[in-house]
Amino acid sequence: MSLSIAKNHPAPAQTPPDNIPPPIFQVGVSKVRWKPMPTSDWGLVMGMRYIWAEHLASWQWQYYVVLDPSSPSYPWAKADWGWPDDLEPVPSDSSSATQLVEEVTSRE
């Protein structure tokens, strides 16, 4: 199937399930990184949403990760969304996690 055909035929609307599983990561608490490829970015989960994951054909939690200032992509990307299969926990250094939360809340 070509991409132009797929664009012309959107997927049917999806209805969220009645029972939503608990999230894997916690907002303001979980420090995560993208599973390593050549390099990996990391940061603190600062938001989440339960949405339809087209690539998995199922409902999934998606996490808003504010990147740590020492993360490789930080110079051009301050935050990004990640799927649970793409993220893993990072051993917590409470001082850097606290600093990141303070930076995010001071911007609001």
Q: Is residue 65 part of a domain?
A: yes
In this prediction, residues 70-95 reach a mean pLDDT of: 87
In this prediction, residues 33-44 reach a mean pLDDT of: 88
Looking at the structure of the chain, the number of domains it has is 1
Q: Is residue 26 part of a domain?
A: no
Whole domain around residue 93: which residue ranges? 33-107
Residue 12 CA to residue 52 CA, distance in Å, equals 11
- pTM, two decimal places: 0.71
Q: Is pLDDT of 3 > 50?
A: no
Q: Is residue 1 part of a domain?
A: no
**pLDDT in the model for residue 92:** 60
**pLDDT in the model for residue 84:** 94
In this prediction, residues 53-80 reach a mean pLDDT of: 94
3-state secondary structure at position 15: coil
Sign for the pseudo-dihedral over CA of 65, 30, 39, 52? negative
Q: Is residue 6 part of a domain?
A: no
Terminal Cα-to-Cα distance of the chain (whole angstroms): 45
In this prediction, residues 63-92 reach a mean pLDDT of: 93
Q: Is residue 56 part of a domain?
A: yes
Q: Is residue 81 part of a domain?
A: yes
Q: What percent of the chain has pLDDT over 90?
A: 53
Burial, 50: exposed, middle or buried (Cβ in 10 Å; 0-12, 13-18, 19+)?
A: middle
Q: Is residue 58 part of a domain?
A: yes
